[in-house]
Amino acid sequence: MTEAFPSDTAIVGLGESRYGKRGSITEVSEFQVCCEAIKAAAEDAGLDVTEIDGFASFADERHEPVRIQQTLGIPQMRFSNLVWGAAGGGCSASVMNAALAVHAGICKAVVVYRSLCQGQYARFGHYRPRAVGGSYMTPFGLLTPAQYTALTFRRYMHEKGMTEAQLAEVPLAFRDHALRNPRAIQYGKPLTAEEYFASRYIATPFRLYDCCLESDGACALIVTTAERARDLRQRPVRILAAAQASNAGWGLGPVGSHNMPLADYGTTNSRELARALFGMAGITPADVDVAQIYDAFSGLVPMALEDFGFVGKGEGGAFVGAGNLRWSSGTLPTNTAGGMLSEAYLHGLNLVHEGVRQIRGHSTAQVESAEISFVNSGGGAGHKSALILSS
In order of 7, 136, 173, the CA distances from 170 in angstroms are 34, 31, 5
Give Rg (Cα) of the chain: 19
Distance CA(250)–CA(260), nearest Å, equals: 5
Q: Say how many C-beta atoms besides its own lie within 10 A of residue 4's C-beta.
A: 12
Enclosing H/E stretch for 341: helix 339-342
Distance of CA 384 to the CA centre of its chain: 10
Catalytic positions, please?
294, 345
Q: No. of H helices and E strands in the chain? A: 13, 12
SS3 for 56?
strand
Q: Dihedrals φ, ψ of 176, to 5°?
A: -60, -40
Distance CA(333)–CA(329), nearest Å, equals: 8
Distance CA(265)–CA(174), nearest Å, equals: 26
Question: What is the pairing mode between strands 290-292 and 20-21?
Answer: unpaired
